[in-house]
A and B are shown apart, each in its own frame.
Chain A
Amino acid sequence: QKEVEQDPGPLSVPEGAIVSLNCTYSNSAFQYFMWYRQYSRKGPELLMYTYSSGNKEDGRFTAQVDKSSKYISLFIRDSQPSDSATYLCAMRKGFQKLVFGTGTRLLVSP
Chain B
Amino acid sequence: GAGVSQSPSNKVTEKGKDVELRCDPISGHTALYWYRQSLGQGLEFLIYFQGNSAPDKSGLPSDRFSAERTGGSVSTLTIQRTQQEDSAVYLCASRPSTDTQYFGPGTRLTVL
Please give the residue numbers on chain A whose beta carbons come within 8 Å of chain B beta carbons, in ascending order.
4, 6, 8, 32, 34, 36, 41-46, 49, 88, 90, 95-103
Contact = CB atoms under 8 A, between A and B. Distances in A.
Interface string B25-42: 000000101010000111
B41 A102 contact: yes
Majority secondary structure, B binding face: strand
Main secondary structure of the interface of A (DSSP, over half): loop
A95 B31 contact: yes
Nearest to B108: A41
Given A43-B104, A43-B105, A95-B31, A102 B42 contact: yes
Interface in B54-106: 56, 59, 91, 95, 99-106
Nearest to A98: B101
Contacts of B56: 96-97
Given A42-B106, A49-B100, 10 more contacts: A6-B42, A41-B108, A45-B103, A46-B102, A90-B43, A95-B31, A95-B50, A95-B95, A100-B35, A100-B42
B40 A44 contact: no
22 contacts: A4-B42, A8-B40, A42-B106, A43-B91, A43-B103, A43-B104, A43-B105, A45-B103, A49-B99, A88-B43, A90-B43, A95-B95, A97-B33, A97-B48, A97-B56, A98-B35, A98-B45, A98-B100, A98-B101, A100-B42, A100-B43, A102-B41
Nearest 6 interchain pairs by C-beta: A43-B103, A102-B42, A100-B42, A97-B45, A100-B43, A43-B105
Nearest to A4: B42
Interface of B: 4, 31, 33, 35, 40-43, 45, 48, 50, 56, 59, 91, 95, 99-106, 108
A92 to B, nearest CB: 8
Contacts of B31: 95
Contacts of B40: 8, 102
A15 to B, nearest CB: 27
A44 to B, nearest CB: 5
